[in-house]
Amino acid sequence: MRRIVFALVVLCVAFTSANAAYLNATLQDSRIQESNHIYKPGGIVGFALEGGFFNEPENIVDYTLGIGIRRFGYSHSNGDKSVSLWEIEFKPLTWSVTYWNVMLEFYLGIGYIFAESNVNEEMEKRFEGTDDRGSHGTIENIKETIAINYGYRLGYRITEQFMVSLVADYQKPGPGWHYAHDPTGHFFVGGLGVNFQWNMPW
């Protein structure tokens, strides 16, 4: 909980000190993006809410810094069960190129997974920082509740303040997270979606 509060404080300070800021929302398909042994795998509806700063829409090449909250995961058993993970996402490396109001963007980020639903017993133990040997130390606990994130965005600026984009976002949870029903493999999830961004008038 302290990490969540700290992240929100950093976000508030950044917004009040930055000279350009934005808000955006993403709605997308989220599913496992590699071969797996899950029974009848499928997707879930993933979404993200993000805020950031340092964006300058008039620049051809631009850098932004963002932080947000994201839901991602997958379904199995022909959609009867859905596994979802919630994370606070930090994007320290986001670069974009804009020409004639068309923008192409790439980002690399990290997420701290703070909640889950419908995970298997082993994933639950990892989330709580314990296993058959007992409790992990702090470093191991953090390693097993993070995700490495990356994605692309192709958008069109309808106005200087508003942009609509197609996105491809992907997440790879840390070493302690495994497929439901398959403790031998790590999973890599994500998918395509649509993003709406509003650049705050400053």
- Spell out the residues 6+ positions from residue 153 whose beta carbon is closer than 8 angstroms to its own: 96, 103, 104, 105, 106, 107, 165, 166, 167, 168, 195
By CB neighbour count within 10 A (0-12 exposed, 13-18 middle, 19+ buried), where does 200 fall?
Answer: middle
For residue 185, the model assigns a pLDDT of 54
CATH 2.40.160.20 matches 2-199: yes
For residue 4, the model assigns a pLDDT of 55
Whether 101 and 157 have beta carbons less than 8 Å apart is answered as yes
Q: Is 14 helix (H, G, I), strand (E, B) or coil?
A: helix
For residue 72, the model assigns a pLDDT of 92
Structural Rg of the chain based on CA atoms: 18
The rounded distance, in Å, linking the Cα atoms of 56 and 44 is 33
For residue 46, the model assigns a pLDDT of 94
Count CA atoms closer than 13 A to 192's CA, side-chain side.
Answer: 3
**Token pair recorded at residue 126:** 């990892």
For residue 198, the model assigns a pLDDT of 93
| Mean pLDDT per 10-residue section of the chain, whose length is 202 residues | 56 54 94 76 90 81 92 81 89 92 94 81 61 53 80 93 95 70 66 93 67
For residue 121, the model assigns a pLDDT of 62
**Token pair recorded at residue 160:** 């200087």
**Token pair recorded at residue 13:** 């300070």
For residue 89, the model assigns a pLDDT of 95
For residue 77, the model assigns a pLDDT of 77
The rounded distance, in Å, linking the Cα atoms of 28 and 93 is 21
Whether 138 and 154 have beta carbons less than 8 Å apart is answered as no
